[in-house]
Amino acid sequence: MKKVGLLCGREYSFPPAFIVRVNQLGKPDGVAAEFVKLGGTRMNEPAEYSVIVDRISHEVEYYRGYLKHAVLQGTYVINNPFWWTADDKFFNYSVAAKLGIAIPKTVLLPQKGYPSDVDITSESLHNLNYPVDWDALLDYVGRPAILKPFSGGGWKHVYKVSNKEELLAAYDKTSPYCMTLQEFIDFTGYVRCFTFGKNDITPVRYDPKERRYLIEHEYLSKDLGTRIVKDAQTINQALGYEMNTIEFAIKDEIPYAIDFLNPAPDMERDRITEFYFEHVVEKMAKLVIDRALHGNVANTWPRWEEMLGFGAASGFTAAPKTASRQVTASSSNPSSATAQFDRSGAKIR
């Protein structure tokens, strides 16, 4: 019997439907689902679950710690808790831009303030240039612009600003968060893509004003739909996410990726429509059954380094190869031509 565990918060419709569906569809293969139950985690406690779906560890630190431990014991966690901890939107934008995805110009800003329990004085901050040249930053992203957190969600602290005065008034309210300043995309269309695994992408028309999913299967032209699916696949492969929503704002037929750090996306029936709820429950159930039977934990890690061409060369596993390549390349030098390395990397002769 392979067990799938669900870790979730106050959601009311997705969790029970998901568990029932996994139990139905997984029965022939001996896969069953239940809510994860925790009450103190011992070191090296064996993995009880083949797969865990995590929808809440961003709000409960103990869960995040438990999930890292579960990975170490061999559990396939969706999404990878190590990477989720490390990730942020500014990094996401920068990686995606390098991978050829349309991204609004974005600036990472020094924080307005710091948590009250952190002892920061002006001496602590001598690496920061002061004052910030707000005019130059606004010239770069253009006016109007969007000010929003580099991590976070739920439209909290998202401001549209038209000039420096509005920018500073909004910025003054953002302590202790780290913020980004971003080019405003005056979009004529907007889609949110559900993603199940890295390649199975469902783009859905979305109305950001009403914050509503809309059912309109012909919303995207063939070319635009193809590009959006491809871009969403690239993003998930680069960042390792298997349960995500990826948002695109469309302007002049170009899909700008706006928000793709949604590793616990909204999956509640009332908000995603009955139609997409059914779809999401079915796809998520099939995803976890597949991962329980065939999942390789390595698949949960991001691959941006590899995709940008510098990961494998600098990664641990490639280190000995790099060393031997260097030896060959400089073989005209007799001392290095014969050099060998022991397993710790030390030169042994």
Residues that bind ligand ADP (CB under 6 A): 104, 146, 148, 153-155, 158, 182-185, 208, 247, 249, 258-259
Report the partner that residue 249 touches, choosing among Mg ion, ligand ADP, none (CB closer than 5 to 8 A by kind).
Answer: ligand ADP
CA distances from 13 to 156, 214, 266 (A): 24, 19, 11
Burial class (CB in 10 A: 0-12, 13-18, 19+), 286: middle
CA distance 110 to 150: 11
In angstroms, give the least distance from the CB of 158 to ligand ADP: 5
Strand order from edge to edge, sheet including 212-214: 212-214, 200-207, 189-196, 243-251, 254-259
CA distance 26 to 195: 21
Report the partner that residue 104 touches, choosing among Mg ion, ligand ADP, none (CB closer than 5 to 8 A by kind).
Answer: ligand ADP
Which lies closer to ligand ADP via its Cβ, residue 50 or residue 262?
262
Which lies closer to Mg ion via its Cβ, residue 115 or residue 208?
208
CA distances from 239 to 166, 186, 244 (A): 33, 27, 10
Which lies closer to ligand ADP via its Cβ, residue 208 or residue 315?
208
In angstroms, give the least distance from the CB of 190 to ligand ADP: 7
Which lies closer to Mg ion via its Cβ, residue 176 or residue 208?
208
In angstroms, give the least distance from the CB of 276 to Mg ion: 16
Report the partner that residue 266 touches, choosing among Mg ion, ligand ADP, none (CB closer than 5 to 8 A by kind).
Answer: none
Which lies closer to ligand ADP via its Cβ, residue 119 or residue 186?
186
Which lies closer to Mg ion via its Cβ, residue 52 or residue 243?
243
- In the bound state, the residue with its beta carbon closest to Mg ion is 259
HEC readout, 143-195: CCEEEEECCCCCCCCCEEECCHHHHHHHHCCCCCCCEEEEECCCCCEEEEEEE
Which lies closer to Mg ion via its Cβ, residue 65 or residue 153?
153
CA distance 308 to 54: 28
φ and ψ at 343, to 5 degrees? -65, -20
CA distance 111 to 49: 40
In angstroms, give the least distance from the CB of 193 to ligand ADP: 13
| Residues pairing with 106 in the sheet | 182
Which lies closer to ligand ADP via its Cβ, residue 65 or residue 153?
153
Candidate segments 96-104, 106-114, 232-240, 252-260, binder of Mg ion by CB under 5 A: 252-260
In the set 18, 259, 260, 292, which binds Mg ion (CB under 5 A)? 259
In angstroms, give the least distance from the CB of 108 to Mg ion: 18
In angstroms, give the least distance from the CB of 259 to Mg ion: 4
Number of H helices, E strands in the chain: 12, 13
Give one DSSP letter per residue of 201-239, joined into a string: EEEEEEETTTTEEE--TT-S-HHHHHHHHHHHHHHHHHH
Asked if 266 interacts with Mg ion (CB under 5 A), we say: no
Report the partner that residue 146 touches, choosing among ligand ADP, Mg ion, none (CB closer than 5 to 8 A by kind).
Answer: ligand ADP
SS3 breakdown of the chain: % helix, strand, coil, rounded to 5?
40, 20, 40
Report the partner that residue 219 touches, choosing among ligand ADP, Mg ion, none (CB closer than 5 to 8 A by kind).
Answer: none
In angstroms, give the least distance from the CB of 206 to ligand ADP: 8
| Residues pairing with 256 in the sheet | 249
Report the partner that residue 208 touches, choosing among ligand ADP, Mg ion, none (CB closer than 5 to 8 A by kind).
Answer: ligand ADP
Beta carbons of 33 and 2 less than 8 angstroms apart: no
Q: Give the residues lining the site for Mg ion (CB under 5 A).
A: 259
